[in-house]
Structure 1
């Protein structure tokens, strides 16, 4: 009888179990999350939450692995210094923080004040009819935008995994398919989704990988740091 009961016991769907793991972990403690003893399975990283961190060097993306009321642990391509003051943009909030540890491409960030995680999570729920927008990085670089047989040289105002904002560009480009070439990035296909006062928003046909954009931003931050050090010297 027990054997039949065991056989009839419903088995959890492996896909559901995997999906349950493919997200940032939230902890109700106030301690800053610590680095793991071994790296997590690479299959789990693509769906972790993406946030923005600001330092004196500039802005960059980070992929959050664990969040508590007191801080977070995240992957960061351009490593910061322990003790450095930063600001974390997470769930549309700008949170003053500091770096408390660094290990193997991971950083530990301590919030200056403990957060209400319930409010933070509630803030991440998209309103009806709206999608959560990926964090955008303010950049200052040139790009080439191809629209049919026309080419525009534009300034990039900001960029995210999903798209970018450029200027100047013509209104006739609205709703047109484009190919964008940003400095040091591969050509990216997309579409001009909105236009206002010679400024346009381009949505990529396929979002950039976190690693690709993070590496690009990291190289720009390193170059900026070298230039600043050269001027001081």
Structure 2
């Protein structure tokens, strides 16, 4: 989701909603999906709402407590270590370990992964292990979903699927997704969804998947 980059004087994201208001500072209001790393191998989807040089206001359905250490991974792949300083019903204020240049950090960047065409950033990807089914032209085969984002997935399967083929991916707990095959090798296939998985749907699914592991 694109950044809404209007600059307004606002309180620091690290200031609690009911705290005393300090001197206003420049804060960028955004609506960017990102990855929230809670511990090695433990991840959640989040949205960045306010970003300043020293902190962020983050929305997440994952429960956090004050003094939790986290890492925010942006679409560019940049990783920002931080500490939770307050929580309030799905909103979290975090203090970054190091000051950032807000404009540079949030600027869309062209990225290119092996086997992929260049793109402006990428939706946050999450490592998962989930069975699924890929259907095309009246035929279907079982697959294993290895990673998942709002915009696509990497699958393990044995069948040969041609590039560009229209397919439907079904994963338990998510609505079936029409998609196209973007890349493949001997063991894996990368698919891009025609319509993005909504933030709410993927966030809820990831939370359920983490509880089941």
What's the TM-score bracket when you normalise by the shorter of the two chains? 0.7 to 0.9
Where in structure 1 are there 5+ consecutive unaligned residues? 1-21, 38-46, 225-233
Q: How far apart, CA to CA, are the structure 1 residues paired with 2:150 and 2:106?
A: 22
* TM-score w.r.t. length of structure 1: 0.73
Deviations 1:122-152 (A, max 9, x none): 4x2447x632211111111111111223222
> What SS does the aligned partner of 2:204 have?
helix
Deviations 1:97-140 (A, max 9, x none): 12111102111121111112243134x2447x632211111111
* 2:90 alignment partner in structure 1: 105
- Pick the structure with more strand per residue: 2
Q: How far apart, CA to CA, are the structure 2 residues paired with 1:96 and 1:110?
A: 9
Q: What is the CA-CA distance between 1:198 and the residue it aligns to? A: 2.1
Q: What is the CA-CA distance between 1:219 and the residue it aligns to? A: 1.7
Q: How far apart, CA to CA, are the structure 2 residues paired with 1:36 and 1:173?
A: 53
* 1:95 alignment partner in structure 2: 80
Matched ranges for 1:212-227 at <5 A: 212-224=201-213
Q: How far apart, CA to CA, are the structure 1 residues paired with 2:137 and 2:52?
A: 49
Q: What is the CA-CA distance between 1:29 and the residue it aligns to? A: 9.1
Question: Which one of the candidate residues 47, 55, 59 is aligned to 1:63?
Answer: 47
- Counterpart contact for 1:77–1:105, Cα < 8 Å: yes
* 1:130 alignment partner in structure 2: 119
Q: What is the CA-CA distance between 1:25 and the residue it aligns to? A: 6.2
Where in structure 2 are there 5+ consecutive unaligned residues? 19-29, 112-117
| CA RMSD in angstroms, aligned pairs only | 2.6
Is the counterpart of residue 74 in structure 1 residue 58 in structure 2? yes
156 and 26 in structure 1: CA distance in 2 versus 1, 3 angstrom threshold: farther
Range 110-119 or range 161-170, more displaced: 110-119
Q: How far apart, CA to CA, are the structure 2 residues paired with 1:49 and 1:112?
A: 20
Q: What is the CA-CA distance between 1:173 and the residue it aligns to? A: 3.7
Is the counterpart of residue 185 in structure 1 residue 170 in structure 2? no
Q: What is the CA-CA distance between 1:172 and the residue it aligns to? A: 3.0
Q: What is the CA-CA distance between 1:206 and the residue it aligns to? A: 0.6
* 2:35 alignment partner in structure 1: 52
- Counterpart contact for 1:86–1:98, Cα < 8 Å: yes
Range 93-102 or range 207-216, more displaced: 93-102
- How many residue pairs match? The answer is 192
- Pick the structure with more helix per residue: 1
